[in-house]
Amino acid sequence: MKRAAAFLALLLCLYWTRAQGESGGLTENDVTQTEVQSEILGVKATSDQTNITPDISAELKELRDMVIQHSVELRKLEQENTAIQARLTDSEIKNAVLEARMNASDNKVEQLERENTVLEARMTASENLVEELQRENIDLKARLNTGEKMVEELQRENTDIQARLTDSEIKNAVLEARMNASENLVEELETENAEQPKVAFSVGLTDAGSVGPFSADISLQFSKIFTNIGQAYNPSTGVFTAPVRGAYYFRFNAWELRDTSLVGIKLYHNDKQITLSLDKVVNNGYVTVSNAFVLQLEKGDVIYLVLGSGCSVFDSSNNHTTFSGFLLFAM
């Protein structure tokens, strides 16, 4: 019975020690109380040794040693628990910081996702714009190729035009040179022409009809004056007198309609006969004789027409018989 009581007291002591450990660990006072209780149990055990067998005493001693060892171990566990709690507190703080950072990261991720959505929309719009620009670029390239071909064609045409223009400029230069020469010549001729006298005449014989035939040669006096510039022809004598030395052109025409009549006109330079134009009217027809000469005359030389002997001419208002001449150029 006493052994059972001692064992129950030991169990209570262990339970109380365990409760102290669970509530926050053993303190020095707790260890002292445990030692005191152990001494009390030892005293009680000593007082009861007379009544307890040696086996029980040994077991109690062993139990006491176990309680002391457990107390030491509990003290170590308490220290370790304190360190673990400190580490746990640091870990909780770190976890709180990490959680705050995680929340900030989550918020940042959400913001980035929203920005990413906006960027994706803008990227899609940019891609659409790029595609449109690419299509426009293709169209512009096609138009550029067409423009380049047109430019090449225009360049070829321009080269041809430039070559033609060069030829034209050369021809124009030649023509301009010739034109300048011509203008200079014209100016010289105009100067010479202004300096030389103006000489030209054209006259008709008569309106009376037939003249001749005569038994001797006679000088024809052309009395109808059409033109007499310079007054070099004298209608009273029928003689043209050269006012300057030069080349002159003369022409005459004679007409006759009387049957079997001879028409014979002589052109004289001073006393020299230049020509005789002769013909005869037959079968009730008519004849015309004419001739022309360019003669070089000295100043004062005379030109006139002579009707040959036995010859006749006819003239009327129709001016069948005429005499003309003019100065080509002075010499």
- CA 276, CA 265: separation in Å to the nearest integer? 6
* pLDDT for the residue numbered 47: 47
The rounded percent of the chain whose pLDDT value lies above 70 is 82
Query: Which pLDDT score, from 0 to 100, does residue 45 have?
Result: 47
Output helix, strand, coil percentages for the chain, rounded to the nearest 5.
55, 25, 20
pLDDT number for residue 10: 65
Least confident of 51-55, 123-127, 242-246, 258-262: 51-55
CA distance 292 to 51: 203
* Average pLDDT value for residue range 134-159: 88
Q: How far is CA 282 from the centre of its chain?
A: 88
Rounded Cα distance between 271 and 293, Å, is 16
Q: Report the pLDDT value the prediction gives residue 297, as an integer from 0 to 100.
A: 95
Residue the block writes with tokens 């209570």: 12
Question: How far apart (Å, rounded) are the C-alpha atoms in residues 81 and 117?
Answer: 51
**Is pLDDT at 279 greater than 60 in this prediction?**
yes
| pLDDT, mean of residues 220-224 | 92
* pLDDT number for residue 2: 53
Residue 188 has a CB neighbour count (10 Å cut-off) of 10
Rounded distance, CA 160 to CA 290, Å? 59
**Mean pLDDT, rounded, of the chain:** 83
At 166-213, the pLDDT tens digits run 888 898 889 889 988 988 888 887 776 666 789 999 999 988 888 888
Give the whole-number percent of the chain exceeding pLDDT 90. 27
| pLDDT at residue number 168 | 83
Per-residue pLDDT, 20? 57
Distance (Å, whole) CA 15 – CA 5:
15
